[in-house]
Structure 1
Amino acid sequence: MKNKMKRILTVIMVIVLMGTAAIFFIDFRVRSESKKYIVNPKDVPEAEAILVLGAYVKPNGKLCDMLEDRVAVGIDLYKNNKAKKLLFSGDHGQVNYDEVNGMKKVAEKKGVKKEDIFLDHAGFSTYESMYRAKEIFKAKKIIIVTQQYHLMRAVYIARQLGLDAYGVNSDQRNYWGIDKYKTREIAARVKDYFNVNLIKSKPKHLGDIIPVSGNGIVTHDK
């Protein structure tokens, strides 16, 4: 009986160790493969669109610090002629929660032309935002803007999906809860690694094709 229990415990330990090793290997691979495509704003190649990823919007409509900084960096890239279009991708799945129009409002106040702003109302996850950028908005070359901890996964997904993607870090300050986000990001990298390489799921919503080369006003609902 003791020998049997010992064998069972040994098997469990081996499984746990192998699982842990796999997690760290995948995390390392995602970070290392995307690192060379993350560049500073001055050196990033010109692209068709600047893809700004959504984040939490407060009940009063104000962008959280992370999202505020993402939008600011995206607008700077646009004004420095790194791309002619801005693609704001985020969660607008409910009437009373809207990330993309919050970003649009800021961009318009900063002088971005309405027709140059595209809204992806169904960017419910990083994977879906990248998938839709390619399949719905027909982008081929993009600049992704988000914080560094998130940027590596976003660039990895985009390039695995066939996008010529580069990333620009939007870290501008110390963010509340950043350590928690960084820890959760390891699990997110593993999940999306399997999704983009094996599962290859489709987004919840696809819809009509809206080429990012056109007029962004067709994506506006406000």
Structure 2
Amino acid sequence: MNKTASRAMFLGDLVIITISALLLIFRSSYEPKLLFDLSVAVVPFLLLWIGLARVGNAYDLSLPMREFMKRNILLWFTSISIAQMSRFVLKYLISSTISNAVWIAIEAIGISILFILWKYGSYFLYKVSLHPEKQMAKRVTWSFVLAIFIVGILSLFPFAYSILRYSGDIYSVENSPTAEAALVLGAGVWFDGTPSSVMVERVQAASDLYKMGKIRSIVLSGGHQEVEAMLQLAETLGLDRNRLVLGISGESTLDSCMHMIHDHGFSNVAVISQRFHLFRALYLCDSMGIQSIGILSDLETRLPETLMHRYLREVFATAAGFIQIQALRLRQ
């Protein structure tokens, strides 16, 4: 029983670490190659954990809970710290750029919380299984696990629907139909006000559409800092200030879609974003009664990071958007 449980926990650790490593790949990938990213992110992380776990006896389930968790947390933070530092150095050596240390630390902490919850839960389930008399505790525990699993499965449906429904409505800048206006959705801005690469790509795509004569106006939507950064970018690209509409109240994608029709009066819109985001954006705009198409603002060159980090986020964001839409309809 002890060996079987240890092996199951070990396999679970490998899954968690693989997902963690992919989620922690730098926002600007080293190269647009999945194999390369896996080799510099996943493999070192896995080897580090396997080696340290073996040396530190991380799967000794005979240990008391406190000692077991203390040992695993120490080994985990040693592994993730070395893995993060190695990728930090690798990126500098390969691309001569330095990653934002604050974001690396924040993401590492988030993944660490996931790992600690997994270790605690798996150890708890093992201990409960050793005591047949604790049937109620087992039922409650497994019911909780089942509920999480069901919620996770249900969360996939809105995202799957958005992909199937709107894949045919997404175009490149060159192949896009005409529209009344372009909706540029806000993206990250660094602490010093520098726009993220994602934001630059979106504004550049809007500029290209306008100069091709495919749109007449551009709505810059997001929080105040995002809109200010996008406005500066747009003016730098030579766009006519009179053709720029500032949608400062667009704190979320749903808000941006609502304001397009209610505040700005546009009902035929080209939504500009990255592919991972467009499925949800088109679903939300369509739900608001806006005839919309999606315009790709990137070439998907950050494949591994996009595939794991952003698409995974979109699964739950689309589910949340679905709930918001249903709530709005109930109020009407």
Give TM class, smaller chain.
Answer: 0.7 to 0.9
Structure with greater contact order relative to length (CA < 8 Å, sep ≥ 6): 1
Partner of 1:168: 295
Taking only aligned residues, the RMSD between alpha carbons, in angstroms, comes to: 2.3
Structure 2 unaligned regions, length at least 5: 1-132
In the alignment, is the contact (CA less than 8 A) between 1:30 and 1:193 conserved in 2? Answer: no
1:124 is the counterpart of 2:251: yes
- Give percent identity, aligned residues only: 26
Secondary structure in structure 1 of the residue aligned to 2:171: coil
1:102 is the counterpart of 2:229: yes
Distance in structure 2 (CA, Å) of the matches to 1:45 and 1:76? 13
Question: Could you say which structure has the higher strand fraction?
Answer: 1
Relative to the length of structure 2, the TM-score reads: 0.54
For residues 31-180 of structure 1, the aligned pairs below 5 Å read 31-92=163-224, 98-172=225-299, 173-174=301-302, 178=306, 179-180=308-309
In the alignment, is the contact (CA less than 8 A) between 2:163 and 2:279 conserved in 1? Answer: yes
Partner of 1:192: 321
Distance in structure 2 (CA, Å) of the matches to 1:122 and 1:72? 22
Question: For 1:110-136, what per-residue CA distance to the aligned partner results, in whole angstroms no more than 9, with x for missing partners?
Answer: 221111011111111111111111111
In the alignment, is the contact (CA less than 8 A) between 1:37 and 1:166 conserved in 2? Answer: yes
Distance in structure 2 (CA, Å) of the matches to 1:52 and 1:189? 19
User: Bigger shift: 160-169 or 59-68?
Assistant: 59-68
Question: For 1:118-177, what per-residue CA distance to the aligned partner results, in whole angstroms no more than 9, with x for missing partners?
Answer: 111111111111111111111100000111111110011001110000001112443896
Distance in structure 2 (CA, Å) of the matches to 1:106 and 1:2? 63
Equivalent position amino acid for 1:48 in 2: E
In the alignment, is the contact (CA less than 8 A) between 2:210 and 2:217 conserved in 1? Answer: yes
In the alignment, is the contact (CA less than 8 A) between 1:27 and 1:190 conserved in 2? Answer: yes
In the alignment, is the contact (CA less than 8 A) between 1:52 and 1:144 conserved in 2? Answer: yes
In the alignment, is the contact (CA less than 8 A) between 1:55 and 1:64 conserved in 2? Answer: yes
- Closer, same or farther in 2 for the Cα pair 1:101/1:186, shift >3 Å? same
- Closer, same or farther in 2 for the Cα pair 1:109/1:175, shift >3 Å? farther
Secondary structure in structure 1 of the residue aligned to 2:176: coil
Partner of 1:18: 150
Distance in structure 2 (CA, Å) of the matches to 1:65 and 1:176? 16
- Closer, same or farther in 2 for the Cα pair 1:190/1:118, shift >3 Å? same
Equivalent position amino acid for 1:129 in 2: S
Distance in structure 2 (CA, Å) of the matches to 1:184 and 1:192? 12
Q: 1:9: Cα distance to partner?
A: 5.8
> Which protein has the larger Cα radius of gyration, Structure 1 or Structure 2?
2
Question: Could you say which structure has the higher helix fraction?
Answer: 2
Distance in structure 2 (CA, Å) of the matches to 1:5 and 1:18? 20
Equivalent position amino acid for 1:80 in 2: M
Structure 1 unaligned regions, length at least 5: 93-97, 202-222
Distance in structure 1 (CA, Å) of the matches to 2:214 and 2:286? 19
4+ long deviations beyond 6 Å? none
Equivalent position amino acid for 1:63 in 2: P
